[in-house]
Amino acid sequence: MMNILKTKNNIYLLYFYLFFAQLFFDRALWVIYLGDKGMTLGEIGVLEALLHLAIVLFEVPTGMIADLYGRKVSLVIGNLFSLLYGLFMLLSGNFSMFTLAFLSMGLMVTLHSGAEQAFAYDTLKNDKREKDYTRVIGSMTAISLLSLSLAKFLGGFMAEVSWEWVYGSTIVTHVLAVIPLLFMKEPEREKTEEISGRWYNQWVHQFRLGVNVWKHNPVIHAPVVLFILASAVMVIMVFYGQEYFVELGYSSIVVGAVFTIEGLLGVVMAKIAYKVEERFKFFNILYYGLGLFLVFFLLFIFATDWAILLSFLILAQLLSLFEPIFSSFVQSFLKSNIRSTFLSLIGLMESFVIMISFPLFGYAIERTGFTDGFAWLLVIFFVVAGGYLVGQRVKMKGRM
């Protein structure tokens, strides 16, 4: 009972933390800033690649930090890297310093990714409220999107004054983000057994525990694979879609409005996800959602005028709606001592797929154009997703 009283405010403190932690006022401006500092597009591309490389390399080790030493420890260290990012960007004037900034951002992402969800789930589990997780993670996502939208809006005005305002304000808000973390109480969780020998033996053991979750729970395979593929597709659509919409003849004002609407609709989808979860079985949501994703993907490529924009908005909302439900489903198979590690394994694969597909798609559209590029992306998505599902079905029949 005493432990429940200690952790009862965790969720509200986590909401406050997330609001401040997402206030990166350069989120829609960093490419412009780097250009002003003399970076070429090629150098900017390398910096973006280094960011994803840092995520791929450190996603799992930082997830293990959260499981072995505590979610709060991981979040505090991650926030320190947020401060370093703002400081390096503020002081940078050359490629080497910008490299440190982007590596800091990558480490921040990895330290936060699994720890935030694990902290929320363990707090609810400690209070015997696991059934509320989808609603809570939906609220967390909604707050993050609102905060990010506010940061994009205010960042433009700050940049008109000076870049020092943009990055100075980012540093201040991430100092504020530490305050709610200090008051959060680490919920109880199962401990990984101590492994004798050098420190890295414990880490290897932790990694094996994460892999074992995948081996022993084949029911999560299809949802994880489909989620990773759909997430990679949406990252490509969001980034390259900006230039695609301009090429179709839409003004920058219209494009900005579309992405603003997309973010605000994502807030709504995240908030209602738990209601959808209550009404429908998980695998019905998964497979019907996949069907809708393919239909609107086709429309996005081959429709005309406003139907393309509408298809894009619906595709983004399908993923925003599914993400909290997916997270809740996967969490139910995890013990506390492996929660962040396994979520980080999913993040690792997602980042790896994005890191590989992102430049390949850019290379493809330079030679074939956007329409053919998106069409090939759809074909690849359909073949990989469909082929995997058919393979799983054949494997299941072989076992019967």
Neighbours of 376 (CB within 10 A): 15
The pLDDT score that the predictor gives to residue 1 is: 44
Q: Which of 159, 184, 206 is nearest to 33 (CA)?
A: 159
The pLDDT score that the predictor gives to residue 192 is: 60
The C-alpha atoms of residue 146 and residue 137 are separated, in whole angstroms, by 14
Residues in the chain predicted with pLDDT less than 50, given as ranges, are 1-5
The pLDDT tens digits of the residues spanning 142-187 come to 899 889 888 888 888 888 888 899 999 999 999 999 999 999 988 8
**What is the architecture of the domain spanning 1-183?**
Up-down Bundle (1.20)
Domains of the chain, by residue range, sit at 1-183, 218-332+369-400
Answer yes or no: pTM beyond 0.95: no
Neighbours of 300 (CB within 10 A): 22
The pLDDT score that the predictor gives to residue 196 is: 52
